[in-house]
Amino acid sequence: MIAQILFNSRKLKIDLTQPLDISIPIQSSDKNVNAWYIGPPKIAPEIYDGATISVEEGASVNFNTITFNPHSHGTHTETVGHITKEKYSINKYLKQFFFLAEVISVAPEKKGEDYVISAKQLQFAIGNKKRDAVVVRTLPNTREKTSKQYSHTNWTYFEEDAIKLLVRKGIKHLLVDLPSIDREEDGGELRGHNAFWNTKGKLRKDATITEFIYVSNKIEDGVYMLNLQIAPFDNDASPSKPILYKILE
């Protein structure tokens, strides 16, 4: 099914039958991707009056309770409420769901004991393109990202100047295949998050960060239509399912 979208006064065509899912699902397993020093998510039948509410156990329905943390256990999208005293719900502040996005691949640079993504790298990859969203695939890119246990690994992070560059370019939605855009242990400074949401000025309440994506190597760098789907949680973050669509000429 070919859909024609009027987007910023441009007519764009996308094939709705060819979605490119870049989310990592949440599963009840030790192999579920994880960060931030907590255990895996749990999906298990509820027990009521000593009975397990599961068809396999003789019940008429499956009735699972799910315990997870969106920041630790899979693809999630977050608002500035992630780092502020005031509550900003993703369900309230993410009001649009289709965006023009640029997929870029970046090989992090070694800096002391760290690997970082610099402003220079982002400028080279994005150039002067006008986009609503940027999807960052770090290199090397392996399936290990979908099950990696990231705690205590000192993962790749974005330098503060790199995030400030994205803000100057008007990027409202940043999607990354990392547990965080900031260093795992930074003393709580969260320079990238604070820069992206402009916490020292006018808050960018409608801007979002999506972490723990996985962009298959089959997906080429370039421009796409992004459909950023979330679950309607009244929380700073929600599990999400970002979908890319190729733009047809």
Q: How far apart are CA 56 and CA 62, in angstroms?
A: 8
- Per-residue pLDDT tens digits for 167-225: 999 999 999 999 999 999 999 999 999 999 999 999 999 999 999 999 999 999 999 99
DSSP letter at 72?
A: T
CATH number at residue 109: 3.50.30.50
* pLDDT at position 52 over 80: yes
Termini Cα distance of the chain: 15
* Residue 2: count of CB within 10 angstroms of its CB: 10
Q: Residue 199's closest CA among 121, 120, 88?
A: 88
65 assigned to some structural domain: no
Considering the domain boundaries, does residue 100 fall inside one?
Answer: yes
Short-list 201, 206, 104, CA closest to 158 = 104
For 137-180, write each residue's pLDDT tens digit: 999 999 999 999 999 999 999 999 999 999 999 999 999 999 99
Residue-wise pLDDT for 93-147, tens only, equals 999 999 999 999 999 999 999 999 999 999 999 999 999 999 999 999 999 999 9
Reduce the DSSP state of residue 197 to 3 states and report it: helix
Q: Residue 226: what pLDDT?
A: 98
- Please check whether residue 227 lies inside any domain of the structure: yes
Q: Is residue 38 part of a domain?
A: no
Total of domains in the chain: 1
| Confidence label for 39 from pLDDT (cuts 50, 70 and 90) | very high
| Mean predicted lDDT score pLDDT of the chain | 96
Region 237-249: mean pLDDT is 95
Domain boundaries, position 97: 2-29+70-248
Backbone angles phi, psi at 197, to 5 degrees: -95, 0
User: Mean pLDDT over residues 25-35, rounded?
Assistant: 97
160-168 vs 119-126: helix crossing angle, rounded to 10: 30
Q: Is residue 49 part of a domain?
A: no
Q: What's the confidence (pLDDT) of residue 10? A: 79
pLDDT surpassing 90 at residue 249: no
> How far, in Å, are 14, 25, 178, 202 from residue 212 at the CA level?
25, 10, 5, 27
